[in-house]
């Protein structure tokens, strides 16, 4: 029986890859970013510089589009047992699209096993979950055991973010226009989290990176940061800032394993210039 782990492109795993065994493969389905009449597909061929320039030049509202059920079904056809990992259903139709694809595929091939997990999160949270699923498969767990343990692991993970730019959130109605514009003018950084429902929850708004990162680490600790935690930091053109946060974490928690990765299309689109997301 072959396995396949499938995630939508907001996981950014096209950059860091996923170690898999002989009978285990990994695939992604791309979201899309719509800028006026132009559609950017968030896959390995995406020109990030061109996307950023298009976003900067376009004065109107932009949007993102989830993968179609057909795109998910194409990935589901590649193995006997499939675990699909999606970004939060509270902010995207990606999860529902994967569920439709699952039902389509099982009607056509009832012998398959397909399970879809709504992370209620994105980015590094999805990376951690995909890696855990891979470990569970390598340990010889049954399909049912992998699903059960992966769902439990998913509920235990946390995602925090700190943002410097609020333009996309304002344009897409994710943040009050007046609040976002005021925060931008004052040069503030927001510190927030993915809530239990998978929505954006703002915890703090403060000036200066040092203060924001201090609050950020406090929130990580408040939410059960283990001394040996595996942490993924995803940043949108903010490598220097991400490394400062990296050093701050390791200074206080030297046993943590921290990986710093750049955002790709979808995560960078919403995080905005200078945005950082941390999953643990």
Q: What CA–CA distance (Å, rounded) separates 167 from 270?
A: 9
Burial class (CB in 10 A: 0-12, 13-18, 19+), 251: exposed
Strand partners, 231: 258
The region of weakest confidence among 64-73, 97-106, 184-193, 238-247 is 184-193
Confidence of residue 180 (pLDDT cuts 50, 70, 90): very low
Confidence of residue 171 (pLDDT cuts 50, 70, 90): low
How far CA 28 is from CA of 18, 96, 239, 244, 267, in Å, comes to 11, 16, 25, 30, 14
- Cβ burial, residue 108 (10 Å; 0-12/13-18/19+): exposed
- Torsion 272-260-228-215 (CA) sign: negative
* Percent residues over pLDDT 70 in the chain: 90
Section 256-278 average pLDDT: 94
Average pLDDT taken over every residue of the chain: 91
> With 80 as the cut, is the pLDDT of residue 237 above it?
yes
The whole-model pTM stands at 0.91
**Looking at residue 207, what is its pLDDT?**
85
At residue 274, the pLDDT reads: 92
């Amino acid at each position: 029986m072959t396995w396949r782990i499938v995630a939508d492109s907001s996981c950014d795993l096209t950059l860091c890859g996923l170690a898999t065994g002989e009978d285990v493969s990994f695939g992604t389905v791309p979201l899309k970013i719509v800028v006026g009449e132009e559609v950017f597909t968030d896959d390995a061929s995406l020109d990030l510089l061109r996307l950023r320039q298009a976003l900067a030049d376009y004065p109107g509202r932009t949007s993102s589009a989830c993968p179609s059920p057909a795109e998910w079904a194409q990935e589901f056809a590649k193995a006997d047992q499939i675990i699909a990992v999606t970004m939060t259903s509270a902010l995207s139709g990606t999860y529902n699209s994967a569920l439709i694809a699952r039902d389509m595929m099982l009607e056509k091939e009832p012998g398959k096993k397909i399970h879809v997990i709504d992370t209620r999160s994105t980015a590094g949270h999805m990376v951690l979950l995909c890696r855990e699923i891979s470990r569970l498969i390598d340990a010889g767990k049954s399909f049912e055991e992998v699903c059960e343990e992966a769902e439990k692991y998913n509920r235990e993970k946390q995602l925090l973010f700190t943002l410097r730019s609020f333009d996309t959130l304002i344009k897409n109605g994710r943040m009050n226009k007046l609040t976002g514009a005021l925060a931008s003018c004052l040069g503030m950084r927001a510190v927030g989290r993915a809530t239990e429902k998978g929505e954006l929850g703002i915890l703090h708004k403060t000036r200066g990176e040092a203060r924001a990162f201090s609050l950020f680490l406090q929130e990580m600790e408040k939410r059960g940061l283990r001394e040996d935690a595996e942490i993924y930091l995803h940043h949108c053109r903010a490598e220097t800032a991400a490394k400062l946060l990296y050093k701050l974490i390791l200074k206080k928690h030297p046993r943590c394993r921290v990986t710093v990765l750049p955002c790709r299309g979808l995560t960078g689109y919403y995080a905005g210039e200078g945005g950082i997301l941390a999953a643990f």
